[in-house]
Amino acid sequence: MVPEFGQMALIVALVLAGLQTVIPLVGVQARREWLMAYARPLATGQAVFLMASLLALTYAFVVDDFSVAYVAANSNSQLPTPYKVSAVWGAHEGSLLLWVTMLGWWGLAVAWFSRSLPLDMVARVLSIMGMVSVGFILFTVQTSNPFERHLPTAPMDGADLNPLLQDFGLIVHPPTLYMGYVGLSVVFAFALAALMGGRLDAAWARWSRPWTTAAWIFLTMGIALGSWWAYYELGWGGWWFWDPVENASLMPWLVATALMHSLAVTEKRGLFKSWTVLLAIFAFSLSLLGTFLVRSGVLTSVHAFASDPERGVFILALLGICVCGSLLLYAIKAPTVASVGRYEWVSRESFLLMNNLVLLVSAFAILLGTLYPLVIDFMGLGKLSVGAAWFNTMFVPLSVLLALIIGMGSMSRWKSDGLSRLGNELRWAFLAALVLAVAAPFIANGEWNWQVVMGLGVAFWLVAATLVDLWKKSRGRLKRIPTLGMSYMGMIIAHLGVAVSIIGVTMVSNYSLETSVKIAPGESAVLGNYRFEFAEFGHIEGPNFTSDATRFNVWRDEKLMEVLTAEKRRYNVSGQVMTEAAIDVSLLRDVYISMGEPLADGAWGMRLQVKPYMRWVWLGAIFMCIGGGLAVMDKRYRARQTRKVALSNEAVA
Amino acid sequence: MTRWLLFIPLAVTLAMGVLFWIGLGKEDKDALPSPLVGQPFPSFEAKALLSGEAISAASLPAKPMLVNVWATWCPTCKAEHAFLNQLAKQGITIVGINYKDDDAKAREWLKAYGDPYDFNISDPDGKLGLELGVYGAPETFLVDSQGTIRGKHIGDLNTRVWQKLQPQFEAMK
């Protein structure tokens, strides 16, 4: 009964979304306020019914209702309850339901937090979000119904959740990432609504900023969680693979980052309007593209969902309507909203424009690398996959350039600035970064190479330039820092986060040690100044798996540092074998042990790694999220004086 | 500004759309080239699933065959099983590789759903699967009478896929 209720709720949500698309928009056209006023309650109702539907599916998982085909394929009675819940989004159908439910939540958030917006704007925004909802709920109901029954013969037990997914990482990573993807629909809706109304002003930019930042925070967190999860769960110690699915999340992130910055220019200076709108369209389009690539089977990836041409066609049509429709609207309407205002070659506007270009070029390079195999195949030139080498060659120099720009950009003034002034302010920061970077490999006791010097150099530069800026703005008084405003502090912390991540990436890519050894109990292997002693071998019984386990004593400079247990699990139901790496985590390095294959005489093939500064890669992401959070909380976004804002902007322009 | 410039994003998007449309239509889209095509079937030593006899590459029948990688934990394998039964009835030789599976469960499965296989190679650790570059189950290899691999299909076999593979299979005779 409950699954049928879930399906009904989904269909009701579809109907509400349809009404939400039509009624408010008719209201706007006919200038009928009472029709526009339907937008909020309809969005609320849609969110409630989507939530009910998601809960119904979750219930089916928790009570082991294997008569539901999706539950039977992705769960099992032995599965621990938390994983039964996360199995809801363990495969295509359920994750799509989660996706649309989150779309409902964002609509709900817009409905609740848009009191300061003019009603016709709210009506347009929610109508556009309703349109996106209609598309995706229809997609779910038509091609990917998670409530379909296995009748009349229901299996006794389920096929089990993919063991890869039986992990804390799966509980948190996809929902966070989806929140980010879907959150971009809000900015997209705002941009289209502004285009339709011909009102691309500072007020529009101000409304869009916190929403963009919120979606961006989720996206950042989702990507970082995914990388962290891959690192500890997949057992080979990698944290970024340039897999098409990873790329699918990185592209919207890069464009959303550009969008956050160009929105700042649009709000403060009334410039880049048309460009900002285009970025808002691109950011959401790329998150839809990601959905398409993952779910259509067009590309081969380690974590793409099962391919199904019918789904591919449907989602391609959705993508086509959504992206082409908005770009057409853009092409027609953008000329009416041309920006006025001037800025010099050396100015904050210029630096932000450069930042935008670099970010966009990066996103484009990744898009190219991701789609290239498809193009080659299409031209009949054979099949290939683009490896990490391409992405690194493109991405590394662009990141260096970006870091250099951030350092100067956040220091620069609006409208007009001088290179000599910037040089004066920043030359010590530059020199200090250079000296430190050249010396760093000696301090870290590592091999001297230019990649390290370059990577650390830009990170130090970023830190130094940010601190100089903080020093100047607070005029050297720590007490004044809190008065500089949440947005400013957010920016400082986020930029420091970029530096922290760059340090992590540089160190771990250049100074990781690893070895694969054949080792028997009692024997030792040496790696750097670590000695790994194979202490014992045993078996562990888990709730739904049994595992072979190896215990290692890790000695550093002949002092016992840690006892680590790596496992190889065999899941009872599926029979799949999973490697559970043992990781000793610390701020300056990770020690990583994973089990390979059993060899003769009780020996095992083992993979031993020491990864310096691994945590910094994700620590930087945490900084960025905190920075974003501070920016969202800035009280000026909560002010209701929208009219004043618009007026003051005209004065500036 | 020249207005037509504003239509560039739309044009690029449309071009990409066409590309995806074609990409979707391609049947063999998941098939990265298998480096094993044209190579002899890798040598192996294993046990037959049902009889328990020791078998090796020399045990493969000297006629064109399908080598099908499957497991009881794989839902898609269940979906394709009926079609394999059908193929076997048409006289097509199918050798199974029971991949990363439990022997007892695999035997039960064959009893319950029918056995289309000439014999099954038990590959509990996925060692042979590794040699064959198996991504996951199901996968099917076309192997000729000399034991040379001629083709590979990732995903389930069904009527639609077989229409495409059959000419190649017939050509191996």
Q: How far is A434 from chain B (nearest CA, A)?
A: 41
**Nearest-by-Cβ selection for A573 from B20, B21, B73:** B73
Percentage of residues of chain B with pLDDT beyond 90? 14
B130 and chain A: CB distance < 8 Å anywhere? Answer: no
Q: Does B66 have pLDDT greater than 90? A: yes
**Phi, psi (deg, nearest 5) at residue A587:** -65, -35
| Mutation site for A-interface testing, chosen from B5, B19, B24 by largest number of A Cβ within 10 Å | B24
Q: Is residue A99 part of a domain?
A: yes
B9/A contact by beta carbon, under 8 A = yes
Q: Which residues of B touch A575 (CB under 8 A)?
A: 71-73, 100-102, 105
Q: Is the pLDDT of residue A646 over 60?
A: no
**Whole-number pLDDT of residue A651:** 36
CATH number of the domain located at residue range(s) B30-171 in this protein: 3.40.30.10
In angstroms, the separation between the Cα of residue B170 and the nearest Cα of chain A is: 24
Model confidence pLDDT, tens digit, residues A598-609:
888 888 889 899
> Using omega within 30 degrees of 0 as the cis cutoff, is the peptide bond preceding A152 cis?
yes
Residue in A closest to B2 by C-alpha: A335
Which of A89, A63, A57 lies closest to A171 in space, CA to CA? A89
CB neighbours of A492 closer than 8 A, spacing ≥ 6? A466, A469, A470, A627
Contact A17, A137 (CB under 8 A): yes
Contact A335 B20 (CB under 8 A): no
Chain A hits for B155, Cβ within 8 Å: 307
pLDDT tens string A357-382: 999 999 999 998 888 877 776 676 66
What percent of chain A lies above the pLDDT cut of 70? 92
Say yes or no for a CB contact (<8 Å) between B32 and A300.
yes
Q: Report yes or no: B118 at the A interface, CB cutoff 8 Å.
A: no
Radius of gyration in angstroms for the set of CA atoms belonging to chain B, rounded to a whole number? 20
Q: Residue A197: helix, strand or coil by DSSP? A: helix
Domain of residue A519, residue span: 513-614
**Could you tell me if B173 lies within 8 Å of chain A, comparing CB atoms?**
no
| Average pLDDT over chain A, rounded to an integer | 87
List b or e across B122-136, with b for residues whose CB sees 16 or more CB atoms inside 10 angstroms. bbbebebbeebebeb
pLDDT on residue A641 = 46
Count of domains for chain A: 2
Contact at CB, B102 and A320, closer than 8 angstroms: no
Whether A23 is in a domain gets the answer: yes
Confidence class for position A152, pLDDT limits 50, 70, 90: low
Residue A639 has pLDDT above 70, yes or no: no
**Region of poorest pLDDT, from A123-137, A228-242, A299-313, B98-112:** A299-313
Assigned domain for A7 exists: yes
> Among the ranges A44-48, A530-534, A581-585, B95-99, which has the highest mean pLDDT value?
A44-48
Contact B23 A285 (CB under 8 A): no
Closest-approach residue (CA) in chain A for B98: A575
Interface test with B, best of A383, A568, A569 (most B CBs within 10 A): A383
A33 reaches B (C-beta below 8 A): no
Query: Which residues of chain A are within 8 Å of residue B17 when distances are taken between CB atoms?
Result: 316, 319-320, 324
pLDDT at B29 exceeding the cut of 50: no
pLDDT tens string A436-456: 998 888 887 778 888 899 999
Average pLDDT for residues A543-556, to the nearest whole number? 90
Q: What ipTM does this complex have?
A: 0.73
Average pLDDT score over residue span B40-52: 87
Strands A589-598 and A582-584: antiparallel
Q: How far is the C-alpha of B99 from the C-alpha of B122, rounded, in Å?
A: 7
How far does the CA of residue B146 sit from the closest CA of chain A (Å)? 27
Cα nearest neighbour of B101 on chain A: A575
Average pLDDT over residues A201-205: 86
- Pairwise CB contact (< 8 Å): B1 & A338: yes
B10 contacts in chain A (CB < 8 Å): 324, 327-328, 330-331
Helix A273-296 × helix B8-25 angle, to 10°: 0
Window from A146-155, A546-555, A556-565 with minimum mean pLDDT: A146-155
Confidence category of residue B26, pLDDT binned at 50, 70, 90: low
Cβ distance B72 to A306 less than 8 Å, yes or no, reads: no
Q: Is A73 on the interface with B (CB under 8 A)?
A: yes
Residue A595 lies in a domain: yes
In chain B, which residue's Cα lies nearest the Cα of A375?
Answer: B19
Residues in chain A within 8 Å Cβ distance of B72: 575
Contacts B16 to A, Cβ<8 Å: 371
Contact call for residues A625 and A220 (beta carbons, < 8 A): yes
3-state secondary structure at position A590: strand
